[in-house]
Amino acid sequence: MSEKKEESTFDKLFKISVAGKTDTKGKFTYLSWVYAWAELKKIAPHSSVKVYEDDQGRPYIADGDKGVFVKVGVIVNGLEHISYLPCMNFSNKAIKESDVNMMDINKAIQRATVKAIGLHGLGLYIYAGEDLPEDESGKKAAKSPVKAKTDTKVVEAKKSGNSFRNSKKPEVVSTKTAVEEEEL
């Protein structure tokens, strides 16, 4: 008799499709922290977030003209994954310490939280290709579209029009999802 192996928290989170719950800004896809947190807590209700502070108790780390970044950890079942994220302007450029405000820091903390949740599996496919090297002109190499494949249909992980403020109830796709890159 073979025993069925219990599915890991990562596997459970990785199978959840966040298609229909994302927005795009330029060429980037975003998952709202509200959706990410809700899905995480359904699977791992004792999860928590830790926002790291600098030695002066500020929720960010500053390096003058180089910019400001935040450090956020998400703890799931005793395992912490940490995400570092710069505070960025509307062009996704790092904001200098002299120009950053608390709203910029708050937004970076929320985005870093979602990325740290992604390291635990939820929506991880959104970040595929984010770390592609730049070519000589400074442009990133093209990445293949990432799709979430469900048992019944394929749902592209692109702009849905949903956001926290203006979303309608998202279409239920499937909770059994595998992710694959589209072949070229």
| Contact yes or no for 135/141 (Cβ under 8 A) | yes
Q: Does position 153 have pLDDT exceeding 80, yes or no?
A: no
Query: Which pLDDT score is estimated for 166?
Result: 44
Residue 6: CB atoms within 10 Å: 8
Angle between helices 33-43 and 102-119 (to 10 degrees): 40
Task: Retrieve residue 114's tokens.
Answer: 């979602």
Query: Which pLDDT score is estimated for 61?
Result: 96
Query: Which pLDDT score is estimated for 139?
Result: 58
- Amino acid code (one letter) for 93: K
Residue 10 and residue 22: Cα distance in Å, rounded? 20
The pLDDT tens digits for 6-41 are 899 999 999 999 988 999 888 888 899 999 999 999
Torsion angle of C-alpha atoms 87, 89, 92, 95, degrees rounded to 10? -50
Q: Does position 70 have pLDDT exceeding 80, yes or no?
A: yes
111 burial level (CB within 10 Å; 0-12, 13-18, 19+): buried
Query: Which pLDDT score is estimated for 103?
Result: 96
The predicted model scores a pTM of 0.70
The pLDDT tens digits for 103-142 are 999 999 999 999 999 999 999 988 887 665 555 555 554 5
Least confident of 55-59, 130-134, 168-172: 168-172
Q: Does position 69 have pLDDT exceeding 90, yes or no?
A: yes
Q: How far is CA 27 from CA 24, 124, 130, 142, in A?
A: 7, 17, 10, 11
Residue 25: CB atoms within 10 Å: 10
Query: Which pLDDT score is estimated for 182?
Result: 32
Task: Retrieve residue 27's tokens.
Answer: 């060429």
